[in-house]
Structure 1
Amino acid sequence: MTASEDPGDNSGHNAADHRAEDEAERPQPPVDELLVLDERQLIRIEAVHRGFLYQHLFAAACLLLAGKAGAEHIIVERDEDIEVQLPDARIYAQVKTRQDVLNPSDISGALERFEDIRADHQNGLRAGDARFVIATNAPPSPALLKKIAADDWPDDVELHWPGGPEPSDNCLPRPADNVAGMAAYCSDLAAQLPFGLLRPETLTWKLAAMVMLASAGTPPREDHSFSREELPDLFEQLVVQMQQLPAPPPVYRAQVDEPALLSDQPVRIIAGLSGSGKTAWMAEAAVHAALPVTYLDVGDTPGPALASAVAREVAAKMFGRSNDKLGEILLPGASGLDMVSALSIKLGEDGLHAAVVIDNSHRIPAADIEALVARGPNLRFVLLSQPGRHIAELEAGLDIQAETLNGWDEDTIAAAVQDAGCRADFGDCERLSRITGGLPFYVLNAATIAAREYGGDIRAFCTDIEQQTNIVETAQEIILRRAFEGLPPVDRETIAVLSLADVALSRDEASALLQAACDIDAKAATARLRALPATGALELFGNSGLKIHDAVRILGKADVSAKGQDFEQKALGSLQRVIVSSIRTNWSLAKLGLLIRLFGLLGQARILVQFATDELFHELGVWPEIEPYLLTIAADPNGDAETRLWALDGLVFNDLREGDYEAGRERVDEMESLLRANELGDEEWMAWGMKRMLLLSELGDIDGVRAMLDEVSDRLPDQPEHLRVFRYNRALALFKLGDNDTAVSEALALIGEYYRELGIRPDDVIGRNAPELRELLPKDEDLTDRLKHLADSHDLFAQALGRKSQRSTLARIHAMKFYELSQSYQSFVRVGLDLVEELVWVNDFISAREAFERNIFPILQGAGLAGPVLEARALYAVVLAYCGDHDAAANEVERLLPFEDAMDPNHRAAFQEQKAIIREVRRKGGPPQRQVVIPAPLQALFDQRRGAPREVEPRKKVGRNEKCPCGSGKKYKICHGR
């Protein structure tokens, strides 16, 4: 319906225009008070909205009259403006609003539709008798009065106007002269209802809003209908919920996998730290709940008084209009539990259940809650509670398990911090999630502080918090400190020591850490762990894993520092030994990241440098953990020259990987200066030579590359593995300079040599996924480097061949398999994205989507890689659009928008192009899907995780001949495996 149409005439007759000229003659305000471009258009718009509002108020009056009139249903904006269904008849009402009089031409369309509806009733298509009403705020014109008095006027059609005859049906109101009069009429009716909690005017406008929602077919009123049975509840809902439920936040953001508010369970516990958003979750969920919800905040309520409070509130909610029922429930002299029993019985007789939310339930003794639940079987309780000993008591007494709110994910955090005026990429949001536990209040407070004190830089804020150098305290620290400082000293020390670990420890590992750090025996450590759940600071993972809640760890780490450097170093050293031991039997990326941080905190620079120079650790996504320490080591003028050079080598490797060639050039020059000023060995010179050669190739310096090739080849050790690495780097450098043919031939030769080294053939790879390939490889050998170099060679071969080639597609698929076998997850994702782009290039969009959903995203999630996430998801949105899933593509783009400001400039530009592609494909459509049979290698790649858990294959045990996980560079059997 356009702005100029008559809201009361479904025929679209432009009645408002008939009055535009007359209304234009009304007195005009001074020029400086009228700031509109087209006054006549404004008059038409006002008439349309006035008509709609009048109609909604008329329908609200019908709702208020329905009970007394015995109407079964009130239907709005379906066949007619308003339809009233009585037991034996239907009344169809058309509502007209006019400025002066109602003319015959104004109702001609309505009379024609009445004839069609009348015919349906006569033919049996509609049940009952039909009666018709035209309700108007304006008196009929003389011509219309004459028409009504004529013999041919239908007997079943009435005209209602303010000064006309009394309506024959008591289910319809007498029309008022204008909107204000109609609102006053509704308020008079509302005042007669037995409700005292809302002013009649408030109920009137709420009912009008409900009519407006039903007119639009908005859920839960897709049928545009109100039934007689629900009217008392409808009126009560509008009264009680506005009076008792907390208001949801203006912008509510859902938490991860948040539970439903209503269920069939008699009692549920929703547990979470202060700031976890329990009340906001409840308030938002209650707005959309299908049943009335009674809310009680019992923070200051004595336990014995809880039952009385519940009985009174629920009785008023459910039976507020039935004084006889309230009299049966709220018996004089009855105890609170007796009243709850009577209330439950009455609910059962009426076939009802009542939903009751009890906030701050941790302040009520468990025995009082158990008694309340036992006496109210027709009440459904939701207990909002902070964690602690009382939850364990309730879980045991009620035989239930507490549920938790899981906090916000990175996308939601990004949206929240963007709204606060901050910028953060995916990794920054991941760090903020770890710091705050993802708890909504703490995230919002952190964003507020970052906007005010850090210029909106979430990364800088997180760095200060992690290093405990922040000057402004967060609400998280202030709120949780009160509970933390109230704990016994032994519990505080236990939490503080365990807070140093940001990964889950087994009970044995946690016990060993406490014994070593606190100088206690195993029995005392076990006693401390047993008491820990009562503090509310513990997170449990399965039957064996435990960790201090992320939101509490800030306070725990600060408490360790406050105990002095000696205690802190002792605790860190104890944790390092525990983690090294844990990695031997249960390797994980999270533990590796923690171990690297521990090396840095304990000043073990040489081990960190060894990590940095191993390509594996660049692949595992732990570079952000290493880089800050390497920068310090490389910049130390008094440091060991060899250690500084290898630190620079690791930094240059990352510079080349990220395309930061200016920083790479400066660091390569620093490496050369160290070589000239110190007597370092051939291995250090080779590291510098290789990095300089690759840097020059990226900069397009052909002569420089050829000179370095000659120098490096002259000093290269005569060993097969060194020769292959050199040949690969030479081929890569030449490829960067545009020599594709040499790169193709050399990469192909290297692929063949590595296959022979591994004892497999290219045919063995086709149709097999990574786990199956592992069974064909030599056992009891560290194959990581060879597998990685084979994957690199496949990748180089594919890049040199270019796209649109079946051979390059196959090479990329094989590269992904060997990258996964060598746990080179960064390269796996990078080549996976190249594969997706190649599949899109040949219009195989279905395979591109499969590559994302079955391979790339499981690796990203399992390996915890934050860096490539945004690039991958942006490309995935394009693939979704090409697959015709336009809504999913638009939703993905919407979730990525909060990250846009923090994106790398190149990535941001690419993202903007991708958004344009998605819009264009939605508008014009994309190319047709290529009809192809998925090749066996690609099918094997997809089948690898079909039906399997989406996680990276765990590395359970370190082989005797593998490199030691501690980073010493030695074999495990002669290092920590002795």
Structure 2
Amino acid sequence: MANDSEAAKSSGAKNFVEDVAVVDERQLVRIEAVHRGFLYQHIYGAICLLLAGANGVDRVIVERDEDVEIVLPHRRVYIQIKTRIGSLSFGDIEGALQRFDEIRREHGKGARDGDAGFLIVSNAAPSGPLLKKFASDDWPKDVQLHWPDGPAPTDSFLPVPPKSIGDAISTCSTLAGKLPFALLKPETLTWKLASIVMFASAGSPPRQDHSFSREELTALFEQLVVQMQELPAPPPVYRAQIDEPALLGDQCVRIVSGLSGAGKTAWVAEAALHAPLPVTYIDVVDTPGPALASAVTREVAARIFGRSGGKLGEILLPGASGLDTLGALSVKLGEEGVYVHVVIDNAHRVPASDIEAIVARAPHLRFLLLAQPGAEVIAMEARLAVTAETLHGWDEDTIAAALHDAGCQADFGDCQRLSRLTGGLPFYVLNAATVAAREYGGSVRAFCADVEAQTHVVETAQEIILKRAFEGLSAEARETIAILSLADVALSRDEAMKLLQGASDIDARAGAARLRALPATGALELFGNSALKVHDAVRMLGLADLAGRGGAAESKAKAALREVIIVSIRKDWSIAKLGLLIRLFGQLGDARILVGFATDELFHEMGVWPEIEPFLVDIAASAEADPETRLWALDGLVFNDLREGAFEPARGRIDEMQVLVEANGLGEDEWLAWGMKRMLLRSMLGDAKGVNEMLGMVERRISAKAEHMRVFRYNRALALFKLGDNTTAVAAASELIEEYYGELGITPGDVMGRSAGELRRQLPTVRDITNTLKHLADTLDLLAQAAGRMSQRSVLARIHAMKFYELAHAFDSLVRVGLDLVDELVWVNDFIGARQVLERSIFPIMQGVGLASRVIETRALYAVVLAYCGDHQAAADEVARLRPFEEAMAPGHREAFQNQKRLIENVRRFGGPRQQEVNIPASLQALFDQRRGAPRVVEPRRKVGRNERCPCGSGKKYKQCHGR
């Protein structure tokens, strides 16, 4: 970044060229339009297949000379298909008309049989000029034009063009429903036909000629119906998991491993609907290993070559072994030039040696093995030289949708908690939703709290299913899992060994032996070769087992983990480890340490407050705690109350602080803590007299030290700002900012043109300046807010505040000020600049730190910005993903979200203001660039791949979400 300037008052439409960003957004729009057109075309082709048999069609051809060709005994109709958002213009079809001329000449000179007819099909009505040309005398008589509300087709083998992809699916499904296959849902056949048309369009074997003959249609429909009826039925509502793998692949063998309840079979059933090739499904749950080859041969041969006679006789030789017949089948498939895809479910029930034998004997079969993790999967990986893939469960949005449909209420944080308890595995999430709806009045938060505390009385399906496997383990393995279940973060192997040694009184050799044996149980998640964690879905059982071993054993294990995490957090800091450490302090009764956390402002910034609050409430109410500890616990609770605008709880707690100070003769620091909090509450309630009274009292007792006076002056300015005195607040904040810059030994000019990472190198290193950085950022934020009330632009102050908040690790305030910056950019019609701030700065911070409390409001604002940017479909999609959270929103947030939904709809219907056309200021460029040099405290962020999960938490690929 060269410098910050007056250009910082706005940003503009230039795109940032970054690996994680789309280089050309218009190109992305074109790509999406192309694929939308292809899908429409494939479904239209499927409709033509369904109409062909009863209407004398000899052959349907896709993607040869034209998109679709209908061949009749003495006639051939060439169809060009166009999809448009607006109207269809002459320019859209001019090339097609020229190509029709060439084809017409081929028929005229006898190179092609029969008469030629031509048809242009579109989902959009023709424009006025095109309609005029179509009605003119010089329009070719053999060229028809079809659109949804146009004249009805005169040929019964041609459908009325659907208006959209949704209408196309509906039309195709209606026709499919007339086939005599009542057990198969019409939509299922529609998707299978569309995938078959897509496959033929590519000229893939066995459809190198791109065509379907009339004689084979009945057999084709029957084959699809038989295949789909033999596959497991997909659930009525299928919700995709995170980064689902492809069903079909080129590898000879793949393994997809997951616990029972992970949704492996449902994934196969759903993916098979869209697979362009036949898929043979075999459940080997009761099949002996030696019989596997015969079972595979029988099912595949019958599926591919029919159930009797012909080629089956060449494969199913009398007296031949199962492996011999499987080999003969593979040879025959090779002669046909095809590969067959076979899904083997419950593959862990078959010895790995038998799996290896059939894979080696059948090179023209592609095997997908579904298995539960354990020793047999490890053996299969070793014998087959493959690494098992996994299904990653549902993301928070998907969990929220499932909970909403079950009649439950959950905010984003609740969905995160449930994800941790269930591993996000679909069956366990759905069962938890059922239990929460029935036993907890739909409150997912209450359900999670009971399960975490092991006080729930209704056993979940997760516990029932996994308990049998857990109880089948050795006592040593169960104890190991129970101890490691205390950690909900990944531990290094050395850390895990130290934990086991401290909790079980074993030596290093015994600890290493336990860890080596643990992967075979299937309960462990491995992260490369360096870290491990008990699977989230299993942790519930492990914690219950540990609780059943008695309070002394449980406390010993927690104390051992506390020491491990204290050492670990110094080497490799993370928010997740901090949250775990705070819980351990609370559970082990380390009250003073928790109170120390609560009274440090930075711990309110890191998203760990929910971990601290329950313990502080207990400490503040405890008659056994000393008065000083209780007061500081109340101080931390009041600080958070004031942040959240919870004035009534704050009032009661401030009164309790006063009683503790006066009744116990506490010191000056305790009195000032009470006085400052009371002054701020008075200002927030608009009590000017109360504020002035407290200001006088506090000023008389405040220390003369410069640091203390600056804090007091800031709080005084903040109080006056809350009372509406913006002029005084601006003046006081400006003076303080100058002093803080002096304290840090820099000037505003040093901040210009530097990211947070670059700025760090300009700061003092001989002392801890974290509080000074935080106070400077707070003061810049106050200046921006007060100036904004006076209709003054404050982009620059907010950008600089964000830099200092990042340097101070005050991430919650960073996100809050970032959202204020977005609001200001929207206010001046700089929608693209607002979108860049969200996508390049705010979302990465939230994802890296895990600020669940800010996710919903940020994404709701993002939806508004998308609408203002003209990306109406993306805005609507974002709103749809947020709707399941709506019922659990706080009343004020719910009202704001409803207003945002109305605004988005109005922008879609009536349009929004025009985007400013100016250059992106250097200050915003630096704000985005500083992500590369972010401090270590934010968990290291590598560049997001375009096909990876988007950092915002939507569950979509980055290129389909914020990477747009």
Q: What interval of TM-score do these two structures reach, taking the shorter chain for normalisation?
A: 0.7 to 0.9
Residues 65, 810 of structure 1: alpha-carbon distance in 2 compared, 3 angstrom cutoff: closer
Hey, what does 2:53 align to over in structure 1?
63
Give percent identity, aligned residues only: 66
Q: Which amino acid aligns with 2:282?
A: L
Aligned with residue 534 of structure 1, among 515, 520, 543: 520
Aligned with residue 181 of structure 2, among 177, 202, 215: 202
* SS of 2:916 mapped into structure 1: coil
Residues 126, 819 of structure 1: alpha-carbon distance in 2 compared, 3 angstrom cutoff: farther
The total of aligned residue pairs comes to: 813
1:347-358 correspondence to structure 2 within 5 Å: 347-358=333-344
**In 1, Cα distance between equivalents of 2:194 and 2:547:** 63
Asked if structure 1 preserves the Cα contact closer than 8 Å seen for 2:585 and 2:591, the reply is yes
Asked if structure 2 preserves the Cα contact closer than 8 Å seen for 1:63 and 1:74, the reply is no
Hey, what does 2:242 align to over in structure 1?
256
Q: Which amino acid aligns with 2:688?
A: I
Asked if residue 444 in structure 1 is aligned to residue 436 in structure 2, the reply is no
* SS of 1:201 mapped into structure 2: coil
Hey, what does 1:611 align to over in structure 2?
597
* SS of 2:704 mapped into structure 1: coil
Hey, what does 1:656 align to over in structure 2?
642
Hey, what does 1:815 align to over in structure 2?
801
1:66-77 correspondence to structure 2 within 5 Å: 71-73=58-60
Query: Shift of residue 233 of structure 1?
Result: 6.6
Asked if structure 2 preserves the Cα contact closer than 8 Å seen for 1:267 and 1:382, the reply is yes
Asked if structure 2 preserves the Cα contact closer than 8 Å seen for 1:121 and 1:130, the reply is no
Residues 804, 72 of structure 1: alpha-carbon distance in 2 compared, 3 angstrom cutoff: farther
Hey, what does 1:309 align to over in structure 2?
295
Asked if residue 380 in structure 1 is aligned to residue 352 in structure 2, the reply is no
Which structure has the larger Rg? Answer: 1
Q: Which amino acid aligns with 2:578?
A: L
Extract unaligned runs of 5+ from structure 1.
Answer: 1-55, 94-115, 133-155, 157-170, 173-189, 191-197, 956-978
**In 2, Cα distance between equivalents of 1:609 and 1:57:** 69
Hey, what does 1:130 align to over in structure 2?
115
**In 2, Cα distance between equivalents of 1:689 and 1:215:** 71
* SS of 1:270 mapped into structure 2: strand
* SS of 1:358 mapped into structure 2: strand
Q: Which amino acid aligns with 1:129?
A: G
**In 1, Cα distance between equivalents of 2:686 and 2:651:** 13
* SS of 1:84 mapped into structure 2: strand
1:903-942 correspondence to structure 2 within 5 Å: 903-942=889-928
Asked if structure 2 preserves the Cα contact closer than 8 Å seen for 1:118 and 1:130, the reply is no
Extract unaligned runs of 5+ from structure 2.
Answer: 1-45, 80-100, 118-141, 143-156, 159-175, 203-209, 942-964
Query: Shift of residue 639 of structure 1?
Result: 2.5
Query: Shift of residue 952 of structure 1?
Result: 2.5
Asked if structure 2 preserves the Cα contact closer than 8 Å seen for 1:620 and 1:863, the reply is yes
1:135-146 correspondence to structure 2 within 5 Å: none
Query: Shift of residue 798 of structure 1?
Result: 0.3
**In 1, Cα distance between equivalents of 2:904 and 2:875:** 7
Query: Shift of residue 886 of structure 1?
Result: 1.0
Residues 311, 254 of structure 1: alpha-carbon distance in 2 compared, 3 angstrom cutoff: same
Hey, what does 1:24 align to over in structure 2?
none
**In 1, Cα distance between equivalents of 2:542 and 2:715:** 48
Asked if residue 84 in structure 1 is aligned to residue 71 in structure 2, the reply is yes
Query: Shift of residue 395 of structure 1?
Result: 1.2
Asked if structure 2 preserves the Cα contact closer than 8 Å seen for 1:62 and 1:74, the reply is no
- After superposition, the C-alpha distances for 1:605-645 in whole angstroms (9 at most, x for unaligned) are 11111110100100000000000111111112332111111
Q: Which amino acid aligns with 2:53?
A: L
Asked if structure 1 preserves the Cα contact closer than 8 Å seen for 2:756 and 2:933, the reply is no
Hey, what does 2:744 align to over in structure 1?
758
Hey, what does 2:139 align to over in structure 1?
none
- After superposition, the C-alpha distances for 1:536-581 in whole angstroms (9 at most, x for unaligned) are 0001112211100011011111111111111111111010001001
Asked if structure 2 preserves the Cα contact closer than 8 Å seen for 1:308 and 1:337, the reply is yes
**In 2, Cα distance between equivalents of 1:474 and 1:954:** 36
Hey, what does 2:205 align to over in structure 1?
none
1:630-709 correspondence to structure 2 within 5 Å: 630-709=616-695
- After superposition, the C-alpha distances for 1:102-138 in whole angstroms (9 at most, x for unaligned) are xxxxxxxxxxxxxx99989975799421399xxxxxx
* SS of 2:282 mapped into structure 1: strand
Hey, what does 1:771 align to over in structure 2?
757
Asked if structure 1 preserves the Cα contact closer than 8 Å seen for 2:191 and 2:274, the reply is no
**In 1, Cα distance between equivalents of 2:190 and 2:373:** 43
Asked if residue 861 in structure 1 is aligned to residue 847 in structure 2, the reply is yes
**In 2, Cα distance between equivalents of 1:209 and 1:544:** 44
Residues 687, 932 of structure 1: alpha-carbon distance in 2 compared, 3 angstrom cutoff: same
Hey, what does 2:506 align to over in structure 1?
520
**In 1, Cα distance between equivalents of 2:831 and 2:892:** 25
- After superposition, the C-alpha distances for 1:765-784 in whole angstroms (9 at most, x for unaligned) are 11111111111111142111
- After superposition, the C-alpha distances for 1:394-414 in whole angstroms (9 at most, x for unaligned) are 111111110000000000000
Q: Which amino acid aligns with 2:341?
A: A
Hey, what does 1:544 align to over in structure 2?
530
Asked if structure 1 preserves the Cα contact closer than 8 Å seen for 2:744 and 2:764, the reply is yes
Asked if residue 730 in structure 1 is aligned to residue 716 in structure 2, the reply is yes
* SS of 2:276 mapped into structure 1: coil
Asked if structure 2 preserves the Cα contact closer than 8 Å seen for 1:60 and 1:207, the reply is no
> Superposition RMSD on alpha carbons, in Å?
3.4
**In 1, Cα distance between equivalents of 2:866 and 2:580:** 37
1:134-283 correspondence to structure 2 within 5 Å: 201-202=180-181, 227-228=212-213, 231=217, 234-283=220-269
* SS of 2:458 mapped into structure 1: coil
* SS of 1:435 mapped into structure 2: helix
Q: TM-score, normalised by structure 2?
A: 0.80
**In 2, Cα distance between equivalents of 1:893 and 1:293:** 36
Residues 61, 685 of structure 1: alpha-carbon distance in 2 compared, 3 angstrom cutoff: closer
Asked if residue 589 in structure 1 is aligned to residue 568 in structure 2, the reply is no
Q: Which amino acid aligns with 1:580?
A: I
Query: Shift of residue 393 of structure 1?
Result: 1.2
Asked if residue 420 in structure 1 is aligned to residue 406 in structure 2, the reply is yes
Which stretch shifts more, 824-833 or 935-944? 935-944
Residues 348, 817 of structure 1: alpha-carbon distance in 2 compared, 3 angstrom cutoff: same
Asked if structure 1 preserves the Cα contact closer than 8 Å seen for 2:758 and 2:933, the reply is no
1:552-631 correspondence to structure 2 within 5 Å: 552-631=538-617
Q: TM-score, normalised by structure 1?
A: 0.78
**In 2, Cα distance between equivalents of 1:256 and 1:375:** 34
Asked if structure 2 preserves the Cα contact closer than 8 Å seen for 1:832 and 1:856, the reply is yes
1:383-532 correspondence to structure 2 within 5 Å: 383-532=369-518
Query: Shift of residue 392 of structure 1?
Result: 1.5
**In 1, Cα distance between equivalents of 2:273 and 2:622:** 60
- After superposition, the C-alpha distances for 1:349-399 in whole angstroms (9 at most, x for unaligned) are 111111100000000000000001001111010000000111121111111
Hey, what does 1:21 align to over in structure 2?
none
**In 1, Cα distance between equivalents of 2:702 and 2:634:** 21
Query: Shift of residue 589 of structure 1?
Result: 0.7
Hey, what does 2:6 align to over in structure 1?
none
* SS of 1:490 mapped into structure 2: helix
Q: Which amino acid aligns with 2:700?
A: D
Residues 708, 218 of structure 1: alpha-carbon distance in 2 compared, 3 angstrom cutoff: farther
Asked if structure 1 preserves the Cα contact closer than 8 Å seen for 2:259 and 2:373, the reply is yes
Residues 842, 124 of structure 1: alpha-carbon distance in 2 compared, 3 angstrom cutoff: farther
Asked if structure 1 preserves the Cα contact closer than 8 Å seen for 2:181 and 2:225, the reply is no
Asked if structure 2 preserves the Cα contact closer than 8 Å seen for 1:214 and 1:222, the reply is no
**In 2, Cα distance between equivalents of 1:748 and 1:727:** 11
**In 2, Cα distance between equivalents of 1:921 and 1:331:** 70
Hey, what does 1:330 align to over in structure 2?
316
* SS of 1:828 mapped into structure 2: helix
- After superposition, the C-alpha distances for 1:816-835 in whole angstroms (9 at most, x for unaligned) are 00001111000000000000
Which stretch shifts more, 651-660 or 943-952? 943-952
Residues 265, 81 of structure 1: alpha-carbon distance in 2 compared, 3 angstrom cutoff: closer
- After superposition, the C-alpha distances for 1:127-152 in whole angstroms (9 at most, x for unaligned) are 421399xxxxxxxxxxxxxxxxxxxx
Residues 205, 61 of structure 1: alpha-carbon distance in 2 compared, 3 angstrom cutoff: farther
- After superposition, the C-alpha distances for 1:42-79 in whole angstroms (9 at most, x for unaligned) are xxxxxxxxxxxxxx99975853898xx9x332799x99
**In 1, Cα distance between equivalents of 2:364 and 2:316:** 17
Aligned with residue 789 of structure 1, among 766, 770, 775: 775
